[in-house]
Amino acid sequence: MFVTTAEFLPQHHAERQATLQIISAAEAAGHARVAEMNRQVAGNLDKIIATLEAEGQDGKEAAAGAS
């Protein structure tokens, strides 16, 4: 179980950017499995970021999680 708050949005955005770079490098090198695994990571980060940003717009301080 992973729990986070909007306080960590900059780190989540940075991790997403790094993950996208890993995906690009893996695809260029023909490492399909590495790319696929990191697409799942990017998808999870997208969900976390979207949830935290939506909560921030609502003025809530609830946590968002992904397991």
Region 19-27 average pLDDT? 98
Ranges of each domain in the chain? 10-60
* Residue 36, amino acid: E
Q: Are strands 64-66 and 2-4 parallel, antiparallel or unpaired?
A: antiparallel
Backbone angles phi, psi at 3, to 5 degrees: -125, 140
C-alpha distances out from residue 25 to 18, 20, 38, 44, 64, Å: 11, 9, 11, 20, 29
Residue that wins the pLDDT comparison between 25 and 2: 25
The pair of three-digit structure tokens given for residue 6, joined into one six-digit string: 């909007």
pTM value is: 0.80
Cβ proximity of 2 and 63 under 8 Å = no
pLDDT digits (tens, 9 = 90+) for 41-52: 999 999 999 999
